[in-house]
């Protein structure tokens, strides 16, 4: 983009922003989609947040039958709570006192967006993607998660049509909490598997 | 997607527990088999179903016939010589059937 154009107060568009605007305007102009449809889709994307995954986890902690259904078929269990998983299959991997699970997509940044929303920047970074597969314990320690030598680590590389969330271990001392109170404990990062759930209520995650 | 698209799928060759090797190949195009796992041996964890072949889909073809997709489990210390975790630490990866050979 030439610098002599008067762009007013706007930042110049990046290459991909320009591509998006051009393509969207063409599709609207040709009547393939409408601006209203784009608005609606953006609204739906914005409404997805890690609370959806957290809700599934809290339900599984409280209801062993739901947990069994969730481990057998994650997509169906998500749909049971009203969360659609169109086109992809959800696999839920269970943390236990002996096993810790962590999710990555080494090829790009596949992420269970329908349950966790927009992925954090670090999830898409080359650093995380290239290192968590070969030195998961070191990477987890950088997230403040020390996995003892007594535990096995399972890394899941999301390379094709499956998407993953982790079912964390329910922390001790939460036996009396309600489903909503449990939801508040489950962080986005614990659903990816880079942290565990503590008894402390979640603070909003930073990117 | 055209309405006349014929859905078909390749029959699954492997079952959970089968030992397999990932092909050590380097075709051009949109390949969803990570480079680091090519040539390595693992065990089928589960059959995920059959899905359009991404190597065809990426070029606006139909991806049919659908290819069986597996989750294959590999021992970390067999993939990374310098691996510093437990002997039974694993990595599990989705791999399409046409990238796997029986052992």
Q: Between A153 and A49, whose confidence is greater?
A: A153
Asked if A156 reaches chain B (Cβ–Cβ under 8 Å), the answer is yes
- Residue A104 is predicted with a pLDDT of 98
Residue entry with tokens 């329908």: A114
A150 counts as catalytic: no
Phi-psi region of B98 (alpha: psi -120 to 50; beta: other; left: phi over 0): alpha
In degrees rounded to 5, what are phi and psi of residue A179? -60, -45
Structural contact between residues A123 and A193, judged by C-beta atoms closer than 8 angstroms: no
State the architecture of A48-192 in CATH terms: Alpha-Beta Complex (3.90)
- Residue A2 is predicted with a pLDDT of 47
Residue entry with tokens 């909503």: A180
For residues A91 and A162, give the distance between their C-alpha atoms in angstroms, rounded to a whole number: 7
Q: B84 vs A107: CB contact, 8 Å cut-off?
A: no
Task: Pick the residue of B93, B96, B97 with the most A CBs within 10 A to test the interface with A by mutation.
Answer: B93
Asked if A162 reaches chain B (Cβ–Cβ under 8 Å), the answer is yes
pLDDT at A203 over 70: no
Q: Chain A residues with CB inside 8 Å of B49's CB? A: 89, 161
Query: Helix crossing, A64-72 with A51-62: angle to 10°?
Result: 120
Q: A148 vs chain B: nearest CA distance in angstroms?
A: 10
For residues B42 and B74, give the distance between their C-alpha atoms in angstroms, rounded to a whole number: 5
The per-residue pLDDT for range B36-87, each reduced to its tens digit, is 999 999 999 999 999 999 999 999 899 999 999 999 999 999 999 999 999 9
A108 counts as catalytic: yes
Confidence of residue A1 (pLDDT cuts 50, 70, 90): very low
The total of other beta-carbon atoms located within 10 Å of residue B97's CB is: 20
For residues A197 and A54, give the distance between their C-alpha atoms in angstroms, rounded to a whole number: 11
The per-residue pLDDT for range A166-179, each reduced to its tens digit, is 999 999 999 999 99
Q: B89 vs A160: CB contact, 8 Å cut-off?
A: no
Q: What is the DSSP letter of A88?
A: S
Q: A89 vs B85: CB contact, 8 Å cut-off?
A: no
Q: B51 vs A158: CB contact, 8 Å cut-off?
A: no
Q: What angle do CA B84, B90, B92 make, to 5 degrees?
A: 140
Q: Is the dihedral of CA B73, B77, B80, B86 positive or negative?
A: positive
Q: B91 vs chain A: nearest CA distance in angstroms?
A: 5
pLDDT at B2 over 70: no
Confidence of residue A44 (pLDDT cuts 50, 70, 90): confident
Element (H, E) at B50: strand B41-51
Kindly identify which residue of chain B lies nearest to residue A163, measuring between CA atoms: B94
Average pLDDT of the segment spanning A33-54: 90
The per-residue pLDDT for range A11-26, each reduced to its tens digit, is 788 999 999 999 999 9
Q: A135 vs B36: CB contact, 8 Å cut-off?
A: no
Q: B86 vs A153: CB contact, 8 Å cut-off?
A: yes
For residues A8 and A121, give the distance between their C-alpha atoms in angstroms, rounded to a whole number: 29
A207 CB contacts (<8 Å, ≥6 apart)?
A120, A121, A122
- Residue A48 is predicted with a pLDDT of 87
- Residue A100 is predicted with a pLDDT of 98
List domains and CATH numbers for chain B.
19-102 (2.30.30.50)
Cis peptide before B44 (omega within 30 of 0): no
Average pLDDT of the segment spanning A4-14: 70
For residues B65 and B88, give the distance between their C-alpha atoms in angstroms, rounded to a whole number: 36
The per-residue pLDDT for range A80-91, each reduced to its tens digit, is 999 988 878 999
A125 counts as catalytic: no
pLDDT at A199 over 90: no
For residues A114 and A132, give the distance between their C-alpha atoms in angstroms, rounded to a whole number: 23
CA distances to A21, A24, B3 from A31, rounded to whole Å, are: 15, 11, 21
Kindly identify which residue of chain B lies nearest to residue A161, measuring between CA atoms: B51
pLDDT at A10 over 90: no
ipTM given for this complex: 0.93
- Residue B5 is predicted with a pLDDT of 62
The per-residue pLDDT for range A30-40, each reduced to its tens digit, is 999 999 999 99
Average pLDDT of chain A, as a whole number: 91
- Residue A206 is predicted with a pLDDT of 56
Q: Between A97 and A202, whose confidence is greater?
A: A97
Q: What residue segments make up the domains of chain A, in order of their start?
A: 48-192
């Amino acid at each position: 983009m030439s610098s002599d154009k008067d762009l007013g107060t706007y930042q110049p568009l990046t290459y991909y922003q320009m591509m998006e605007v051009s393509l969207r305007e063409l599709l609207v102009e040709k009547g393939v989609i409408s601006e209203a449809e784009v608005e609606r889709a953006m609204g739906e994307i914005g409404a997805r947040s890690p609370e959806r995954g957290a809700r599934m986890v809290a339900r599984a902690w409280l209801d062993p039958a739901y947990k069994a259904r969730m481990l057998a078929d994650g997509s169906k269990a998500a749909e049971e709570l009203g969360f659609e998983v169109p086109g992809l299959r959800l696999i839920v991997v269970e943390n236990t006192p002996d096993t810790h699970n962590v999710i990555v997509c080494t090829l790009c940044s596949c992420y269970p967006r329908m349950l966790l929303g927009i992925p954090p920047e670090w999830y898409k970074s080359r650093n995380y993607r290239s290192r968590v597969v070969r030195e998961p314990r070191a990477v987890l320690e950088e997230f403040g998660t020390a996995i003892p030598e007594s535990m096995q680590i399972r890394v899941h590389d999301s390379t094709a049509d499956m998407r993953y969330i982790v079912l964390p271990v329910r922390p001790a001392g939460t036996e009396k909490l309600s489903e909503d109170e449990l939801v508040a404990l489950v962080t986005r990062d614990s659903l990816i598997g880079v942290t565990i759930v503590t008894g402390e209520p979640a603070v909003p995650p930073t990117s | 997607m055209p309405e006349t698209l014929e859905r078909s799928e390749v029959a699954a060759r492997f079952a959970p527990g089968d030992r397999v090797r990932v092909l050590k190949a380097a075709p051009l195009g949109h390949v969803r088999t990570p480079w680091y796992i090519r040539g390595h041996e693992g065990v089928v964890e589960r059959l995920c179903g059959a899905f359009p072949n991404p190597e065809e889909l990426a070029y606006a073809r139909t991806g049919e016939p659908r290819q069986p997709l597996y989750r294959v489990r590999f021992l970390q210390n067999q993939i990374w010589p310098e691996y510093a975790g437990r002997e039974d630490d694993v990595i599990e990866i989705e791999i399409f059937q046409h990238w796997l050979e029986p052992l």
